[in-house]
């Protein structure tokens, strides 16, 4: 199975921001299982500055973004799964990328599917392919 392009695009926009002295921000959809500072959540969404001055110990991989940030002077480590990231943009020019909201929430600490889930996923994909009509050619005069 191919990996998602989303984490690669997030890192690319982040690097573009850094190269152009812009401030990268991420927009995150807040799911119930995510531990986010509730006072900053608006309409089930929160925006974080992930620039060098605001996000310390920033780590980005294909499964999550983690960093240390201060809220009301109190340091806090945040771990944000890639599926929860709605977009990344440069604050100064309001340019970046948005992503479709992923409704299926995965466990942020369990990045791989279990054997049962993987089998169900493969089975559902196979049955979908069988239900699709086969292409046909038609001669148009």
Residue 93 clears pLDDT 80, i.e. is over it: yes
Residue 109 clears pLDDT 50, i.e. is over it: no
- Return the CATH number at 101: 2.30.30.220
- pTM, 2 dp: 0.71
| Domain assignment of residue 141, yes or no | no
| b/e per residue 90-103 (b: at least 16 CB within 10 A) | beeeeebeebeebe
Hey, is 56 helix, strand or coil? strand
| Domain assignment of residue 136, yes or no | no
User: Where do runs of H (alpha helix) occur along the chain?
Assistant: 6-19, 115-131
| Domain assignment of residue 51, yes or no | yes
Number of domains within the chain: 1
| Residue numbers of the domain that contains 71 | 6-128
Residue 1 CA to residue 3 CA, distance in Å, equals 7
Average pLDDT across the chain, whole number: 81
| Domain assignment of residue 63, yes or no | yes
**Tokens 């060098």, located at residue:** 52
| Domain assignment of residue 11, yes or no | yes
The mean pLDDT value for 8-30 works out to: 97
Q: Percent of the chain scored above 90 by pLDDT?
A: 58
| Domain assignment of residue 91, yes or no | yes
| Domain assignment of residue 137, yes or no | no
């Amino acid at each position: 199975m191919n990996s998602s392009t989303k984490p690669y695009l997030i890192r690319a926009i982040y690097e573009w921001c850094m190269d152009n002295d812009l401030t990268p921000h991420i927009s995150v959809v807040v799911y119930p299982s995510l531990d986010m500072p509730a006072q900053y959540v608006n309409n089930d969404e929160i925006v974080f500055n992930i620039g060098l001055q605001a996000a310390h110990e920033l780590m980005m991989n294909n499964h999550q973004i983690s960093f240390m940030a201060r809220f009301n002077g109190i340091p806090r480590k945040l771990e944000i799964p890639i599926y929860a990231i709605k977009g990344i943009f440069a604050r100064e020019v309001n340019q970046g990328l948005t992503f479709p909201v992923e409704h299926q929430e995965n466990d942020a600490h369990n990045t791989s599917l279990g054997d049962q889930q993987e089998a169900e996923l493969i089975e559902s994909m196979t049955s979908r392919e069988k239900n699709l009509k086969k292409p046909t050619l038609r001669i148009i005069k």
